[in-house]
Amino acid sequence: MEWLGHAKTTFTHSPTTLNLKKKDGTSTDLLAVCQESTPPCRLNPFLFNGHVQTMLTAVKVDGPPVYYKRKIFEAEDPAYAGSFAVDFVVRKYEGVDNTLPIRTTYFKDEEFEGIASTDTRPMLVVLHGLSGGSYEIYLKHVIEPLIDAEGDRRWEACVINSRGCAMHKITSGILYNARATWDTRMMVKWLRKTFPNRPLFGIGFSLGANILTNYIGEEGSNCMLKAAVVCSNPWNLEVGSMALQRTWLSREIYSKTMAANMKRLIELHHDEVAKNTKLDFEKIRKVQYLHEFDREVQGPTWGYPTEGAYYRDASSTDSLLAAKIPLFAINAEDDPIAVNEAIPYQEVQQTPYAVLCTTSLGGHLSWFEFGGHRWHARPCVNFLNKMAFEIEIEAPATLTNGDNAKSGESSDMFVAMRRKWHR
């Protein structure tokens, strides 16, 4: 039935997933929660494969009317000096700021001074994809139903914009990459302090999914997020890069477009970025493809000898094995960017903390249904609501049948988060 847009959904998981306690006193597990959260995947049949689905994302529309107010944060760690912009979801307001993306303006100082709260609303921390921002439609489809919920089921949310993205001015030579967890770490700590009673949840899309998974793995059992969702995670960046170079369409459309977006970002912030004396702008301007951009920018910036070394170190596949919070991953098998061969099927089967849902159709951050809605928003919203309102998140999650040994804990044989790059 796939020719009618009826995609097949498949769940990959460990033999025994995380045991969870429900607020009504009954027990469940992570697999059951993910399965119950996932409705049938019924996509627009005219968008019959991953390429057509993905290409439709190039059509620019406003999407759901989500309103933001922005605050600029300065990095506290001098090793990652610079600023980044966080857009907080707020109620509808009048007025337009043409220096920022649609429906976004800055907090007034007096407004932000009073933002702290002791309320217990769940709060979502959102990470966008490569060169994107809080204005992206794929993330607003998830945010809108959460913030529009009635009464005690209404969520709060904020989007962490990668440095230089979403019309934020870069203020140092330190940019972001697929391992750039530093701004997320600082922001989660700030949220925990500012909203001490709010349970925090995370969601990441594409590159943001890779960063979020790396952050969760780095934090391990100290992670302040209660649960997370990752959509269209590229997972194994080296495998994905090879796939982007394999065919004319992947190379000349996807890779070239992403490279052009990143080159545009670099040029937009040339004066600040040029303070990084390791970069050769003559070479950068000759770049055509994404792997060439990573070779000329990410490699020199972070000291990686090749783009392959960067990809291997920044991939989130091993980070998955170090995760110690419930993690729901959603990928499309026909995704031309976060390709199927890069999805860590075997690793998912070794950790009780993660469940992977793959759909046979959907493309990259697409999953278009009739009318333009995105299917991925449905399982994301359902999962987050279940974890926030049905699961006793303060109760410690438990493992059974000795699965702790499989969960990525440090051992003599394998340490999931032993990275090659460090400061």
Which are the catalytic amino acids? 206, 335, 364
Report CA torsion sign: 244, 248, 249, 253.
positive
Cβ partners under 8 Å of residue 135, min gap 6: 101, 102, 103, 104, 166
C-alpha–C-alpha distance, residues 108 and 104, integer Å: 13
Contact 225, 327 (CB under 8 A): no
E strand or H helix that includes residue 83 = strand 83-90
Contact 283, 263 (CB under 8 A): no
H-helix segments, 132-246? 137-147, 182-194, 207-219, 237-246
C-alpha–C-alpha distance, residues 270 and 78, integer Å: 21
Task: Determine whether 264 is exposed, middle or buried from the number of CB atoms within 10 Å of its CB (0-12, 13-18, 19+).
Answer: exposed
User: Which tokens go with 107?
Assistant: 């907090």
Cα–Cα nearest to 203, from 112, 327, 91, 106? 327
51: helix, coil or strand? helix
Cα–Cα nearest to 240, from 165, 173, 291, 182? 291
Contact 266, 163 (CB under 8 A): no
